[in-house]
Amino acid sequence: FWFVIQLVSAMASLGGMQGGGVAWFAHLGGFIAGVALIYVMAGDTIRWLRRGGY
């Protein structure tokens, strides 16, 4: 839900009248980078847990 709000706000900021469009896209980029880093840094642990932890 948070991601959708950020995405809608970022797209609305492209209209021109509002300021702070960079901040919306920075939040989205940080969220996406965080999710990617979770999979990169904890990839083996996630695969281990999906196999049942054995």
Task: Provide the whole-model pTM.
Answer: 0.55
Q: How far is it, in rounded angstroms, from Cα 49 to Cα 37? A: 17
Which pLDDT score, from 0 to 100, does residue 33 have? 94
Distance of CA 8 to the CA centre of its chain: 14
State pLDDT tens for residues 1-54: 777 887 887 777 776 655 666 777 888 889 899 999 888 888 777 777 777 766
Distance of CA 39 to the CA centre of its chain: 12
Helix 2-13 vs helix 21-41: crossing angle, to nearest 10: 140
Which pLDDT score, from 0 to 100, does residue 18 have? 58
Q: How far is it, in rounded angstroms, from Cα 6 to Cα 17? A: 17
Spans of all domains in the chain: 2-50
